[in-house]
Structure 1
Amino acid sequence: MQTLLQQEFRSRYNHDFDRLFFAPARVNLIGEHIDYNGGLVMPCAITHGTYLAIKRTEEPVLKFSSLNFPEDTFEIPIQNSYTKNKDYWVNYPLGVVDYFTQKGLEPGGMEFLFYGNIPNGAGLSSSASIEVVTAYAIKTLYNVSYGTTQIALLSQEVENNFVGVNCGIMDQFSIAMGKANHALVLDCETLEFNYIPFQLKDHTLLVLNTNKQRTLAASKYNERRATCEAALKIFNQKGSFSSLCTIPEDFFENHKEMLTPEMQQRVKHVIYENQRVHQSAQALKQNNIIEFGQLMNASHESLMNDYEVTGLELDTIYLESIAFSGVVGCRMTGAGFGGCAIALVENNRVEDYKTHISNQYFNKIGYAPTIYEVSIGGGVQEIIL
């Protein structure tokens, strides 16, 4: 990778870069659609991600290019503030430059070359990876005393306020704070977190991209969130709960008739999914991959039947996976309605599984999924040359 970036940087800028940085992608292992209901998430960083080769220059210009979007290059003069550049990928790093500029840093000329081996639009958070690697690179080049938590928070602020996407903190936090061979159990409200060992000696973690763009994810997300907020107001006629995930199981079971049938389904997922995160943490602490796999399956079943955010493509991967000997767990990851699933597969069955799932998916959907073998890696870092 370093050699490729050296060649491409010279081709674009006629000299070598100064520093090389990497930020991972992330997958959420379990705990889906409950962060905005006061629940816990369990993401991990993976060894796929975004590389950034960068050089400071004397020229008062910011130059951006990417191997993933070779047709889009940008030269932007140094300014006191920057504005969103239509809908191009450059808004992610440009927003980070603007953030530092507004904080008084006044960064000078720089040349950027990005390369990501993350599928765009698949729900693995390529945008957050770009934001975090850019923020980490600038704070390193300019000796800004920001810790990794601050890097995550400023990257979220860029996505919210500059790019205009109202995301939560999970993506940026797990990318900044990831730890090799560990998952994070994160409270997105308080930012309290724990590292949980996740040893995959006899199993392989696979990411399966449905290759379906998540066309419904945003609108359905808003619908689900509004339904959950309405349900909380109804339950607070009988109690005083700060979020759905603070409601005890027995309270829900004894008072669920207050809700419409659809609300009952949504709240059932929220309460029991939050429990599954706690149960998953205990299973991984005991290195019980089989129990963790069963909790993954239960999570997908709930997302499919109660929260209804999966869709034909994700359900095909799930149903074909759990029917295959050697798969210990499978579930959608991310917002749903396309994007990716993850599967835990016995090492000696991985190649047969890839063939099986590719064939079955193609037969039912009409095109193939893309399958990645991933490892659980560390967070944002500089690659020492």
Structure 2
Amino acid sequence: EFGGLSIEIESTVPEGAGLSSSAALEVATITALNEVFGLSLTDEERYRLSQRAENEFVGVKCGIMDQFASVMGRQDSAIFLDTVSMEYEYLPLELGAYSLVVFDSKVHHELLSGGYNSRREEAGKALEILGKRSYRDVSMVDLFTARSKMEDLYYRRAMHVVSENMRVLEVVKILVNSNYENLGRFLVQSHESLAYDYEVSCEEVDFTVDTLRNLNGVSGARMIGGGFGGSVLALCEKSEREKIVEFVRERYFEKFNIAMDAYEVRPSRGAGEIRE
């Protein structure tokens, strides 16, 4: 049985910026309930319940990745997650001379009213046409072979998912070998696929990525989050970071009359009790 509970929420995660604020709220809430009421929930139960809240209560048909990361995060590590088997591996993400910077476009989205669910449905329809149970089973050869029986929209949706899966495997190799100088080009390829094949970017985000790509000291950049606004993640040389942030913010304000926010970010531990 649950007793009464008053909850005060304070957050530094901007809403609708593609930084998984909903997953952060869900996981933080279930973690607090777990502690207060002594529920003894496992890590898996925490991220599964959080995803269920998003799917069934909010109505966004998200996957498990955001909630999983919010529970299972580890300092200075990326997570290589297989969302079919739920096997995972921590990969080193100690960037040395580089840093990760998030640029918040301030074009905030509502995934429920946006095209997020429709993209999931379109990608699912493409998978049906391909005759596969999961995109992990679809090769580029399979996709090319089925091209003639797929409408262009479904082909492009499938192309994004298949090519993104391939990019993930390449990035895993980069992280294992700490070859961070090669990471940027995959960020750029990913953004181009999200913008043109999956069609979830927008003018403001594309402008930010294009501006970053043409600057010295930027290895690569891509949109992050559910799309239709949100933020851009850039891999920058630490020595040039402040200049890069200042220049991009100035250009963005000149173009859109919006004061962009920028944050240096790093992987940290998952949700837990904070004792002061």
Residues 1:133 and 1:165: Cα distance change in structure 2 (over 3 Å): same
Question: Quick one: which of 238, 242, 246 aligns to 1:347?
Answer: 238
1:211 and 2:106 equivalent?
yes
Q: How does 1:275-294 map to 2 (within 5 A)?
A: 275-294=166-185
Residues 1:213 and 1:261: Cα distance change in structure 2 (over 3 Å): same
TM-score, scaled to structure 2: 0.93
Give the whole-Å Cα distance in 2 for the aligned partners of 1:307 and 1:161. 24
In structure 2, stretches of 5+ residues that fail to align are none
Contact kept in structure 1, 2:78 and 2:91, CA below 8 Å: yes
1:249 and 2:140 equivalent?
yes
TM-score, scaled to structure 1: 0.68
Give the whole-Å Cα distance in 2 for the aligned partners of 1:220 and 1:135. 28
1:274 and 2:165 equivalent?
yes
In structure 2, the partner of 1:141 is: 36
- Alpha-carbon deviations, 1:301-355, whole Å to 9, x = none? 1112222211101100100001000011100001111011111110010110011
1:179 and 2:70 equivalent?
no
Count, aligned residues: 276
Question: Quick one: which of 169, 186, 198 aligns to 2:93?
Answer: 198
Q: Percent of pairs identical after alignment?
A: 36
In structure 2, the partner of 1:30 is: none
1:358 and 2:249 equivalent?
yes
Q: Which amino acid aligns with 1:353?
A: I
Q: Which amino acid aligns with 2:82?
A: D
Question: Quick one: which of 302, 305, 311 aligns to 2:196?
Answer: 305
Q: How does 1:55-204 map to 2 (within 5 A)?
A: 106-204=1-99
Q: Which moved more, 1:242-251 or 1:211-220?
A: 211-220
Q: Which moved more, 1:288-297 or 1:256-265?
A: 256-265
**Once the 2 structures are TM-superposed, how far is the Cα of residue 161 of structure 1 from its aligned partner?**
3.0
1:211 is paired with a residue whose SS is coil
**Once the 2 structures are TM-superposed, how far is the Cα of residue 247 of structure 1 from its aligned partner?**
1.1
Residues 1:162 and 1:268: Cα distance change in structure 2 (over 3 Å): closer
Residues 1:215 and 1:109: Cα distance change in structure 2 (over 3 Å): closer
Question: Quick one: which of 108, 115, 118 aligns to 1:220?
Answer: 115
- Alpha-carbon deviations, 1:281-315, whole Å to 9, x = none? 11011101121111111100111222221110110
1:335 and 2:230 equivalent?
no
Give the whole-Å Cα distance in 1 for the aligned partners of 2:155 and 2:214. 29
Residues 1:253 and 1:304: Cα distance change in structure 2 (over 3 Å): same
**Once the 2 structures are TM-superposed, how far is the Cα of residue 217 of structure 1 from its aligned partner?**
7.2
Bigger radius of gyration: 1
**Once the 2 structures are TM-superposed, how far is the Cα of residue 231 of structure 1 from its aligned partner?**
2.2
In structure 2, the partner of 1:320 is: 211
**Once the 2 structures are TM-superposed, how far is the Cα of residue 359 of structure 1 from its aligned partner?**
1.4
Higher strand share: 1
Which of the pair has the greater relative contact order for Cα pairs under 8 Å at 6+ separation?
Answer: 2
Higher helix share: 2
Give the whole-Å Cα distance in 2 for the aligned partners of 1:383 and 1:217. 31
In structure 1, stretches of 5+ residues that fail to align are 1-105
**Once the 2 structures are TM-superposed, how far is the Cα of residue 257 of structure 1 from its aligned partner?**
2.1
Q: CA RMSD in A?
A: 1.8
